[in-house]
Chain A
Amino acid sequence: QVQLVQSGAEVKKPGASVKVSCKASGYTFTSYYIHWVRQAPGQGLEWIGIINPSGGSTSAPQKFHGRLTMTRDTSTNTVYMELSDLKSDDTAVYYCARDTYDRDISAGLILWGQGTLVTVSS
């Protein structure tokens, strides 16, 4: 079964870090880029980064530079998103999602994880 399964909800204090996992199954892990998208409560979607599971290269918006780390483990078909120095406005549901076509990041995100709620509160 082709799916992405994410780790469970997290509650963190401001200034802490959170690491969310996304385990892929049912397809060739290294052939499809994985994106991270977040959604604050009642708000829209925000693209926060992409990782190439094959070589491990990543890209993220400038606003996250220094705070966002994306990694992958090809032995377990899992990608990780770690966000550090958390602030209250990082509270959101974080989704991992896979591209529609292999090695093509232009045709949208066809496969989504179930989402992971990260709550940042003192």
Chain B
Amino acid sequence: DIQMTQSPSSLSASVGDRVILTCRASQSVGSYLNWYQQKPGKAPMLLIHSASSLQGGVPSRFSGSGSRTNFTLTIDSLQPEDFASYYCQQTYNTPQTFGGGTRVEI
């Protein structure tokens, strides 16, 4: 199985900050990498698919980059509603696997 490792596991930031979250795969996943946001008590929400394609309706301050084993999710100008947990997911093969998540706190 492909292992996904996210770093940091948590971070503290302020409104207006630029935040960069990292996801590493144990082997190449090409560009088959998705990012989700999850708020407490809610289902995850897809932000970015295929490493860098912004899902419709997602604010443009979110962006994704990377390929093969190294990926980043960048949030430009953090907003109050962005404080949440973020997960990466590889869909290169099954079993699909998620990273352990990064919690973005105030």
Interface residues on chain A, number (Cβ under 8 Å) = 23
- Decide if A106 touches B46 in the complex (CB within 8 Å): no
Contact of B89 among A47, A60, A113, A115 (CB under 8 A): A47
Describe A's contact surface by its main secondary structure: strand
Residues of A within 8 A of B69 (CB): none
A110-B55, A112-B43 are contacts. A35–B34 as well, Cβ < 8 Å? no
> Is A105 positioned at the interface, with any CB of B under 8 Å from its CB?
yes
Closest to B34 in A: A108
Complex-state Cα separation, A95 to B49, whole angstroms: 19
Complex-state Cα separation, A101 to B36, whole angstroms: 16
Complex-state Cα separation, A100 to B45, whole angstroms: 12
Closest to B91 in A: A106
- Decide if A112 touches B55 in the complex (CB within 8 Å): no
A61-B1, A107-B34, A112-B44 are contacts. A47–B95 as well, Cβ < 8 Å? yes
Residues of B within 8 A of A59 (CB): 94-95
- Decide if A47 touches B87 in the complex (CB within 8 Å): no
- Decide if A109 touches B46 in the complex (CB within 8 Å): yes
Closest to B89 in A: A108
Binding site for B on A (CB under 8 A): 35, 37, 44-47, 50, 59-61, 95, 97, 100, 105-110, 112-115
Q: What are 13 contact pairs spanning A and B, CB under 8 A?
A: A45-B36, A45-B89, A47-B97, A61-B95, A105-B91, A107-B34, A107-B91, A108-B36, A108-B89, A110-B46, A110-B55, A112-B45, A114-B43
